[in-house]
C-alpha cells in the first residue's frame, strides 16, 4: 500500500484501506481526514470518524465497532483490488506486437517471393489474453462484492445471500485462473498469480462464515488473507 500511495498520494481508496493497517486511532483519524480532503462527500469516511469516539460511545456500540471495521476493511480492500489488478493488466494492455524483421525487396531479375505463410498461433499471447479475461472477471466480482459490503445490512437475509453469491463468483473466477494452462515461459508468472489469488479464495470462505455467523474472528481472518493477496498481486506483472 505504501507503493500505491507513493505512486498516487491522492488515492481515496488507498487512504481508506490504510485505516486497517495502522495501529492507533490517531493514525486512523489522520487517514480518514486525508480521505475527506480528497473527497469531502465520502460517507464511509465520515461514518468511520464518528465511530472513533470511544469517550462518548456506549460499550455495546464499541464492541460492535470491530465488526463494523471488519466489514469496512474488506470493502476497502475491494477498492484496492481494482488498483492492483489494473496495474497487472496495464502493461499488457499497451503491449506492442512483436517487431517484424525488415525484408529486402527482390532484385528485378528475380521472380517475386511467395507470400509468407500466416503466422502460427502464439501460445504466450493466447495465455495472456485468457488470463486478462479471468482477471477482469475477478476484478468485476471483487468490485461488486466491495459495493455490497459498503452497503452493509447484516440483519437483512437478502443482503447476506447476495454476499454469499458474490463471494462464490469471486471463487469461480479464481477457479478459471487455476484452470489456465500457461506455456513454459509463463509458468512462473501463472503460479504467482494463482498463489496470490488463492489467499482471496480462502478469504471468501471466511467472509461467508463471518457474515452469516457474525463472527469478528472470521472477518478479521478474511481481512488478513485479503491483505496478503493484495500484497502478492502487487508484485506480479504480466509482461
Average pLDDT rounded to a whole number, residues 164-189: 91
Q: Residue 104: what pLDDT?
A: 38
Strand (E) positions, 113-154? Answer: none
Q: What's the total number of domains in the chain?
A: 2
Statement to judge: residues 35 and 130 lie in one domain: no
Q: Span 157-174, mean pLDDT?
A: 91
Q: Are both 144 and 233 inside the same structural domain?
A: yes
Greater pLDDT, 192 or 154: 192
Cα–Cα distance measured from residue 66 to residue 216, given in angstroms and rounded to the nearest whole number: 7
Spell out the SS3 assignment of 187-233. HHHHHHHHHHHHHHHHHHHHHHHHHHHCCHHHHHHHHHHHHHHHHHH
> Cα–Cα distance between 2 and 18 in angstroms, integer?
9
Quick check: pTM over 0.75? no
User: DSSP label at 8?
Assistant: -
Domain that holds residue 168: 65-94+122-239
Q: Are residues 35 and 138 in the same domain?
A: no
Question: Which residue reads 496495474 in cell numbers?
Answer: 87
User: Same structural domain for residues 130 and 48?
Assistant: no
Considering the domain architecture, whether residues 76 and 178 belong to the same structural domain is answered as yes
Q: Write the pLDDT tens digit of every residue in 4-28.
A: 566 677 777 777 777 666 667 777 7
97 pLDDT higher than 90: no
Same domain for 53 and 71? no
Amino acid at each position: 500500500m505504501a507503493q500505491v500511495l507513493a505512486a498516487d498520494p491522492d488515492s481515496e481508496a488507498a487512504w481508506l484501506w490504510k485505516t486497517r493497517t495502522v495501529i492507533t486511532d490517531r493514525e486512523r483519524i489522520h487517514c480518514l481526514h486525508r480521505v475527506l480532503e480528497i473527497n469531502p462527500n465520502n460517507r464511509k469516511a465520515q461514518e468511520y470518524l464518528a465511530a472513533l469516539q470511544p469517550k462518548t460511545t456506549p460499550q455495546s456500540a464499541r464492541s460492535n465497532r470491530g465488526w463494523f471495521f471488519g466489514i469496512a476493511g474488506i470493502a476497502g480492500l475491494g477498492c484496492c483490488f481494482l488498483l492492483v489488478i489494473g496495474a497487472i493488466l496495464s502493461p499488457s494492455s499497451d503491449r506492442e506486437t512483436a517487431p517484424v524483421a525488415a525484408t529486402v525487396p527482390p532484385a528485378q531479375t528475380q521472380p517475386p517471393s511467395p507470400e509468407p505463410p500466416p503466422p502460427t498461433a502464439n501460445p504466450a499471447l493466447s495465455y495472456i489474453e485468457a488470463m486478462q479475461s479471468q482477471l477482469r472477471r475477478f476484478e468485476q466480482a471483487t468490485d461488486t462484492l466491495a459495493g455490497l459490503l459498503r452497503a452493509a445490512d447484516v440483519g437483512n437475509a437478502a443482503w447476506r445471500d447476495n454476499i454469499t453469491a458474490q463471494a462464490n463468483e469471486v471463487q469461480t473466477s479464481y477457479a478459471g485462473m487455476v484452470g489456465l494452462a500457461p506455456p513454459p515461459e509463463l509458468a512462473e508468472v501463472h503460479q504467482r498469480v494463482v498463489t496470490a489469488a488463492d489467499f482471496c479464495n480462502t478469504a471468501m470462505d471466511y467472509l461467508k462464515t463471518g457474515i452469516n455467523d457474525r463472527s469478528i474472528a472470521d472477518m478479521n481472518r478474511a481481512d488478513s488473507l485479503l491483505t496478503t493477496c493484495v500484497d502478492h498481486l502487487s508484485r506480479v506483472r504480466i509482461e
